[in-house]
Amino acid sequence: MPQDRRPSFTRHSSQDMRLSSAPGGVEHAVRVDLDGLINQMPNGPDKDKFSKEMDDFYRLFTRYLHDKKHSKPLDWEKVRGPKPEDVITYKDLEQKSVQDVAPLLSKLAVLKLNGGLGTTMGCVGPKSAIEVRDSQTFLDLTVQQIEYLNQVSGADVPLILMNSFNTDEDTSKIVQKYSTHNVSICTFNQSRYPRFKTDSNLPLAQTPENKPNMWYPPGHGDLYESFANSGLLDQLIDEGKEWVFVSNVDNLGATVDPVILQHMADTGAEFVMEVTDKTKADIKGGTIIDYDGQVRLLEIAQVPKAHVDDFKRVKKFKIFNTNNLWISIKAIKRLVASQKFDLDLIVNNKTTDDGTAVIQLETAVGAAIKHFAGAHGVNVPRSRFLPVKSTSDLFLVTSDLYLLENGELRLNPKRTFKTVPVVKLGDHFKKVNDYLARFKTPPQILELDHLTVTGDVSFSSDVTLEGT
């Protein structure tokens, strides 16, 4: 058995100790609570996994307490746009086809972030199970893409899904339907961390059971630790894989790109972030900056309130992170093993159903850019960023604006303009079922520039929308 490296404490039941203001008092009390949760688990692999998660959470929590006392706010005067070598242009890269990079594809794995639910669009279960085009789901299209990639290249690119405790059970059932497809599918779960009370800093959960409001998935920055803890990282290394392409499962533009894969191999970079030009619709998106001579990802949550408007200006911060990331697998293993892989903390204040104020500590996967050797951005075409976050987005991808080929959506060449229309559907369209009830057939919008719909409006079949 591996040695238990958790701090050893004498346990006390005194409420005075738990609320002590002495140095280490809060940390001690939280550690006691976490150990109490661990000890409720029966011995076995599940307990070992849970224990490791609680250790990882405790390390994050102690960082939070330290940062509250000692960290300095972001010095806006040191924030600079990225240096030319920190963001290169996609069109300047040597063009390659899938066949050209077939040997490199044998060293690639694709990982989709699959922890989110479809609740914001009025759906039950994993968001990846929402039908987005021709009765096919996000996952259906992803499997088609990789199956076609393997067929054309002769490679065996596996699909890995990082689930959360919210999506794992349903996803495990869904992927069974792909058993006859030419793609290997593996899944693992990201961590499950306890929410803690804002006033006392103590965990809300009293048992390790997955009760509502008690636990949360700590953001996609947890990918690195969870990937390593799952054993899949070592398995991929043993199979000769060198890179993993990471993206959000709801980004229909995030397909394997042979040009960027070749660029990874040629440069030896351990981390490449795809960025694209910012528009007014993307003003909250994280951006690559130069901070004290180091390339970093700056998220809006990190920006001092006095400078938020400055951050949103498209002229100053011209690009944003698509969350399409190309990462060296061996570099992930090295950095996780170092235990110095600290990502910028995102403190997410929440309120439970009963009104309790709680905190979730989260991290973003792109924030790791500062830890990898040779890390930089590639400014890619907007077509690489096609997320479906709302029914307004669904309106676009179901229309004749896009053509579907081998699981990939491409802008219809018949559209005169190469930009996408601005679409804002009102609250009556917010949920998928309500949206579908108001459109009998997908609209034809090749000549559409801008559409705003308010009120309880329904559209007949074979509707063509043009102009503004």
| Residues whose CB falls within 8 Å of the CB of residue 120, separated by 6 or more in sequence, listed in order | 389, 390
Write down the catalytic residue from 47, 197, 389, 430: 389
Task: With CA atoms as reference, report the closest residue to 199 among 77, 321, 18.
Answer: 18
Spatial separation of the C-alpha atoms in residues 289 and 271, rounded to whole Å: 15
First to last CA, the chain: 67
Radius of gyration of the chain (CA): 23
Structure tokens at 315: 């002229």
Q: 90-94 long-range CB contacts below 8 Å, 24 or more apart?
A: 90/259, 90/260, 90/378, 90/379, 90/380, 90/381, 93/259, 93/260, 93/262, 93/263, 93/378, 94/259, 94/262
96 carries an active-site annotation: no
Residue 185 near residue 161, CB atoms below 8 Å: yes
Is 280 strand, coil or helix? helix
Round to whole Å and give the CA distance between 444 and 180: 35
Separation CA 288–CA 268 (nearest Å) = 20
How is residue 162 written in tokens?
A: 């990082």
For the annotated catalytic residues, the residue numbers are 389
